[in-house]
Amino acid sequence: MLSGAVLKQFRTYLKSQVGHGWSVEGRKSKGRLLTRVSFRYLSGERSVVLLEIDFNAEYQDDIVRTVRKLSDLMRERNIELSKAKELLCGGKIDAHGKAFINWKSLQDEFIKVERGDNGI
């Protein structure tokens, strides 16, 4: 579990990698301590998703990589955090807590954008 000085250092590192507005914490779910990621929009509104990645020092790199991918998707496609998680993970995580990329959802989203039907 990430806690104390290690957690503070990790949060500083996360902000240096993905920018301000992002935060992480551990949340118990189904007997596991998972990673809860939140993003604060400029309006002050927050959006939160729960990743199937254990909130553990061992998985710090996986957490940062996943948050970076979420951030990139949100920026590139002008979508909300929950939609970015759906596109990235599709609800599928491997045994090591790493997110599988949901290529089918990304393909469908790309086709919508190319047709000009991006939901905006």
pTM (two decimals): 0.72
pLDDT at 94: 47
pLDDT of residue 37: 96
Taking the domains of the chain in order of start, what are their residue ranges?
4-115
pLDDT at residue 91 in the model: 47
Q: Which residue has the tokens 């990430």?
A: 2
Low-confidence ranges of the chain (pLDDT < 70): 90-106, 109, 118-120
pLDDT at residue 55, as a whole number = 92
What does the pLDDT read at residue 28?
92
Dihedral angle sign, alpha carbons of residues 83, 7, 64, 12: positive
* Other beta carbons less than 10 A from residue 58's beta carbon: 10
pLDDT for residue 119:
53
